[in-house]
Amino acid sequence: MPPEVLANLLILVVVLIGPFVSHHVERNLEAFLFIMGVLSALASRVLTLHLIGEAARQPVPITIAVFISGMIFTWGRERFVRGVSRLLAHVAPVILAAAATAVLGLASSVITAIIAALVLVEFITALRLPRSEEIRVVVIACYSIGLGAALTPIGEPLSTIATATLDKDFWYLARLLATYIVPGILALGAWAAVRRGKRVSQDGDLARVGPSESYADVALRAARVYLFVMALTLLGEGFRPVIDRFVIGLDARLLYWINMVSAVLDNATLTAAEISPRMTEDQVRAILMGLLVSGGMLIPGNIPNIIAAGKLGIRSREWAVAAVPLGLVLMVVYFVVLFFL
């Protein structure tokens, strides 16, 4: 086995297990991945000035989108909460939950998955649903946000990395995936309305949202996103020998199911470790859809899950009980649609 392949396999193992075995790594994931990305690029002998320039340039659009959207949301947070309260006087919570699931899913590719998740948290808190129904709606909405954000490179790191690695234009992922994602988002919105939750009193058993974010918090989050995407760009280039040796030849159907590992690992990191411009569109579509769907099953799988669960105090077991059955159904449905229809 070539030394660069062996070295990157070891780095890949460290990348995948590091956040699970070290709380310090988990809390400083961006810096950890950046270090691993540099090591990976060095091992593959691709750490050139050109790659450094690309790694510095690729995160700019999503960082700007996260920063501007975050500033707007922080500025308008109180107005948003008051608006939701007024809507509740005239519209049933179940209808609002369904509408929010669909709208945030469709909008997340523009306002970013991060901001969509923050809006979701405020919205769900204002609805004041019973705890079990609150968790269920949050899980459904996070699936919707995770899917929708993949349609443009500014939606989430996964789509940023995929577009950059494949060297495609801004609307490539929309052309590749919208036929599958948009109906899925609308179906999730309808599913959010199936069970009817009732509002509870102000003293009900509700998760509480933390204090309003400052503009400094918004800037820090944008900086972390920048470092995260930069790190994944380096990892993607460094892992290319591994991808070419072990992944390129796999059948698209197998790639789809392999990516259920995204339930426990961040799907953007896995995108960097798997996507190659040498792949067929069927392989790329299978990888991305497998990552997007299974990424909703557990909290670590996707950014919206992490944000919503953290701010609403949803525990891992509570999330899994609501999300895993839905995720398995979605995986089977999308498998049939992708490969048999």
Cα–Cα distances in Å, from 170 out to 22, 61, 163? 36, 11, 7
Interior/surface letters 243-261, b for 16+ CB within 10 angstroms, e for the rest: beeebeebebbebbebbbb
pLDDT digits (tens, 9 = 90+) for 60-82: 999 999 999 999 999 988 888 88
Section 170-183 average pLDDT: 97
Section 106-125 average pLDDT: 94
Average pLDDT taken over every residue of the chain: 90
Q: What CA–CA distance (Å, rounded) separates 321 from 64?
A: 36
Q: Which amino acid is at 26?
A: E
Length of the chain: 341
Higher pLDDT, 334 or 194: 334
Residue 189 phi, psi dihedral angles, 5° rounding? -60, -40
Dihedral, 321, 324, 328, 331 alpha carbons, nearest 10: 150
pLDDT digits (tens, 9 = 90+) for 226-255: 999 999 999 999 999 989 888 888 999 999
DSSP 67: H
Cα–Cα distances in Å, from 89 out to 103, 198, 216? 20, 13, 34
Section 8-12 average pLDDT: 93
